[in-house]
Amino acid sequence: MNTLVINKEDLKHNIEKIKEYAQKSGKDDNGNSLKIIAVVKANGYGLGIVEFTKFLIDNGISNFAVATIEEALKLRQAGIKEEILMLSATAIEEDIKSLIENNITLTVGSSQDIEVVDKIGKELNKKIKVHLKIDTGFGRYGFIYSQKEKMIEAIKETQNIKIEGTFTHFSLSFFDEKYTKEQFKRFIDTIEVLKMNDINPGMLHVCNSSAFIKYPNMHLNAVRIGSAFLGRLAFQDHIGLKKIAHLESQVCEIKELPKGFNIGYSNTYTTKKTTKVAIVPVGYMNGMNITNGKDMFRKVDKLRYFVGAFKDFFKKEALYVKINDQKCKVLGRVGTYHITCDITGKDIKIGDKVTIRSKYKVCRL
């Protein structure tokens, strides 16, 4: 059985560090402090969406964001009454009605979204709270930044929508400073055009966890924080975050392999001598050895990754776990559900505890 072990004191530490760093931003033009929107998508990054959200509330966080309708409704069903923003846009009428009924703030990012939301608002005789999404170069939800006239026309035709915020999402803020700055400029230019057309954009937020730490000049009115609460970033932070969790498993099998025996997929490792191994039931499905960003780079970076992967095929894995506090090397490639560990010369038995920690690699425990 595999267990994710969470250190609540380290999580509390991270929350306080993030709040302290946010306070350093000072006040916005309206005299308001920087607002922290906690993103609790993907089942609270594996911590349990309800449990994680309640812990954040107990530690002074009062604004939340989710990625799916199911996540939003689960929080409401759990009795959570705080502000919740649905980050994904939709023009599906049934879904929009369900979100409105549960007091979830919508995201709109197209003429179709706005048309349907405005229609439902008219039927309900109420103004529907929304955040406006600007696509500054991500290619998902949002009005394309260069199509400002289309966006303004769609907004001005509505009577039953209240814009409470406007935002965009950075695609490479942890890695590409030049492109992040370009996205930010596109966003600010769009906001200026909205204001020139007497459209109040409301609260402005562009920073995810990485941008929050790397670009304090981009904080604006609010920031969206997710992985930073877990101390899980693709770069070394400077605000003192801690990794809050590790994975625990058990040795489920022990065997002795002869010299010249292949281990794992693609035969990337062959024993050099008689080797005693422990089989541990963790793998890719548990987030073992999943690396940030392999699908997030430019063409040249993708090429570098594949070259690196090709080289890795011919060299030893440099991945370790601890079994009874003894460092043990993982042999061969990580499987979907299992790893093989070298325990030659070590006193290890079936059922012994395996502890898996990582600097950056374990991204989905």
DSSP string for 316-354? ----EEEETTEEEEEES---SS-EEEE-TTS---TT-EE
**pTM of the full structure:** 0.83
What is the pLDDT, as a whole number, of residue 28? 74
pLDDT(315) > 80: no
pLDDT(203) > 90: yes
41 labelled catalytic: yes
Mean pLDDT, rounded, of the chain: 89
| 18-50: pLDDT as tens digits | 999 999 887 777 788 999 999 999 999 888 999
Q: Which of 81, 156, 265, 316 is catalytic?
A: 265
How many of the other CB atoms lie within 10 Å of CB of 181?
15
Give 358's pLDDT tier (boundaries 50, 70, 90). Answer: low
| 44-74: pLDDT as tens digits | 988 899 999 999 999 999 999 999 999 999 9
User: What mean pLDDT do residues 174-202 have?
Assistant: 94
What is the pLDDT, as a whole number, of residue 183? 96
158/291: higher pLDDT: 158
265 labelled catalytic: yes
Torsional sign, CA 184, 187, 193, 197: negative
Q: Which of 19, 41, 119, 322 is catalytic?
A: 41
Both tokens assigned to 158: 């509505």
Domains of the chain with bracketed CATH: 3-230 (3.20.20.10), 246-356 (2.40.37.10)
What is the pLDDT, as a whole number, of residue 45? 87
| 248-286: pLDDT as tens digits | 999 999 999 999 999 998 898 999 999 999 999 998 777
Looking at the chain, the whole-number percentage of residues with pLDDT higher than 90 is: 74
29/333: higher pLDDT: 333
| Whole-number Å distance between alpha carbons of 306 and 95 | 41
User: What mean pLDDT do residues 304-312 have?
Assistant: 45
Task: Give the residue from 127, 77, 67 showing the smallest Cα distance to 102.
Answer: 77
User: What mean pLDDT do residues 109-122 have?
Assistant: 96
What is the pLDDT, as a whole number, of residue 290? 53
User: What mean pLDDT do residues 86-103 have?
Assistant: 96
What is the pLDDT, as a whole number, of residue 11? 97
357/135: higher pLDDT: 135
Residues in the chain, overall count: 365
